[in-house]
Amino acid sequence: QVQLVESGGGSGQAGGSLRLSCAASGRSFSSYAMGWFRQAPGKEREFVVGISRGGSTTDYSDSVKGRFTCYRDNAKNMVYLQMNSLKPEDTALYYCAADRAYYSGRYSTDYDHWGQGTQVTVSS
């Protein structure tokens, strides 16, 4: 079992940067593939990025590719989402998720464990 806690959200201007963090507790963090999802008001939860348990494989949604970078530090039980060139449409509640697998896909149903989310608000 793994518990996830996101942090690092906040408000920013378009064109700015934020870094989100997800701290995992529990054993065997390196056995879990991780993902970031987001949900804007009135919209469905959306895939942002997935990262394999070792960190060597990442998959980004087209909407964030080239602007966001996901990486993990298994020694610290952490996964990060560096968000650059922020846009107002990036405004959402951001969740990290975990699945006990090498790599999980783009569907939220692929993930078994979820954090509570951290809010990101980008103004123009």
Q: Which two tokens stand for residue 33?
A: 């593939």
The average confidence (pLDDT) of the chain is 96
pLDDT of residue 26: 82
pLDDT of residue 1: 83
pLDDT of residue 27: 81
The residue ranges of the chain whose pLDDT is under 50 are none
Summarised one tens digit per residue, pLDDT across range 1-27 is 899 999 999 999 999 999 999 999 988
22 vs 48: CA distance, rounded Å: 14
Pairing label, strands 10-13, 68-73? unpaired
Q: Is 23 exposed, middle or buried (0-12, 13-18, 19+ CB in 10 A)?
A: middle
121 vs 75: CA distance, rounded Å: 30
Largest interatomic CA distance in the chain: 41
